[in-house]
C-alpha cells in the first residue's frame, strides 16, 4: 500500500467490508432480496430499497475499466512514491472498485486487462485489498 495516507474510518454501514479485509476476504455488499451489487457499501439497496444485505465473497480476477498514472505528488507523503497507478476494476457488471495495480509498468496498462486481487498490510494490523498483474 502507498504509505503516509489516511486509512479508512469504518462506520456501521461499512464495518462488515473492512472486517472482511482483515480476514483476507473481499466482501461485496449484495442485496438479499434482488441481488443487486452496490458500491460503495451503504445501508440500502438503491434498486429495491431492501435493507437486507448479503456480504458475498469476491475473489477476482477483475477487469480494468479505467486508470490513471499519477505523476504529481498531491501530498508530501507521495513524493517518493510517484508514479503510481490507480485503476477502477470491474467486480460485477458495471460495478467497479478502486485500487492500485502493483507490478505493472504504466505503459503496459490496457483497458479490460485482467488483474488479480490480493491483500496488503496497511499497518496497525490492518489488511487492505489491492490488485496486481497475474503471475
Partner 1 sequence: MISRKAAIVGIGQTAYSKASGKTELALACEAIKNAAADAGISVADIDGVVRYDGDSTAEAALTSHAGLQNLRWMSSAGYGGSAGNAVIAHAAAAITAGLATTVVCYRALNERSGKRYGRAETWIAGRARVDGSKAFRMPWGMLAPPHSYAMFARRHMIEYGTTSEQFGAVAVALRRHASRNPNAMMQKPITLEDHQSSRMIADPLHLLDCCIESDGACAVIVTTADRAKHLPNAPVLVLGAAQGTGTRAHGGIFRDSLAVAESTSTARDVYRSAGIGPSDVDVAMIYDHFTPFVIFSLEAYGLCKPGEGGPFVEGGRIEFDGELPVNTHGGNHSEAYIHGLPHVIEGVRQLRGTSTSQVDGVEIVLSCSSVAQLSAAVLLGKE
* Binding residues vs partner 1 (CB under 8 A): 1-2, 5-11, 14, 38-40, 42, 46, 65-72, 74-76, 78, 81, 84, 86, 88, 94-100, 106, 111, 122, 128, 130
Give the DSSP H/E element, type plus range, for residue 131: strand 127-132
Q: How far apart are CB 84 and partner 1 at their closest, in Å?
A: 6
Q: Which is nearer to partner 1, 94 or 135 (CB)?
A: 94
SS3 assignment, position 20: helix
Q: How far apart are CB 112 and partner 1 at their closest, in Å?
A: 9
Q: Which is nearer to partner 1, 59 or 94 (CB)?
A: 94
Q: How far apart are CB 60 and partner 1 at their closest, in Å?
A: 16
Q: Which is nearer to partner 1, 38 or 117 (CB)?
A: 38
CB neighbours of 36 closer than 8 A, spacing ≥ 6?
30, 45, 46, 47, 48
Q: What angle do CA 70, 7, 9 make, to 5 degrees?
A: 135
Q: Which is nearer to partner 1, 83 or 134 (CB)?
A: 83
Distance, in Å, from the CA atom of 56 to the CA atom of 38, rounded to the nearest integer, reads 11
Q: How far apart are CB 1 and partner 1 at their closest, in Å?
A: 7
Output b/e per residue, 100-125; b: 16+ Cβ within 10 A.
Answer: bbeebeeeebeeebebebebbebeee
Amino acid at each position: 500500500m502507498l504509505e503516509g495516507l489516511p486509512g479508512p474510518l469504518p462506520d456501521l454501514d461499512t464495518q462488515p467490508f473492512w472486517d472482511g479485509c482483515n480476514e483476507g476476504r473481499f466482501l461485496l455488499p449484495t442485496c438479499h432480496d434482488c441481488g443487486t451489487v452496490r458500491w460503495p457499501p451503504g445501508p440500502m439497496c438503491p434498486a429495491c430499497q431492501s435493507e437486507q444485505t448479503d456480504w458475498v465473497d469476491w475473489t477476482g480476477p477483475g477487469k480494468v475499466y479505467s486508470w490513471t498514472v499519477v505523476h504529481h505528488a498531491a501530498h508530501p507523503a507521495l513524493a517518493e512514491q510517484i508514479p503510481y497507478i490507480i485503476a477502477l476494476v470491474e467486480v460485477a457488471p458495471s460495478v467497479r472498485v478502486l485500487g492500485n495495480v502493483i507490478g505493472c509498468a504504466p505503459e503496459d496498462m490496457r483497458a479490460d486487462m485482467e488483474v488479480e486481487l490480493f491483500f496488503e498490510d496497511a499497518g496497525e494490523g490492518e489488511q487492505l485489498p489491492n490488485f496486481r498483474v497475474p503471475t
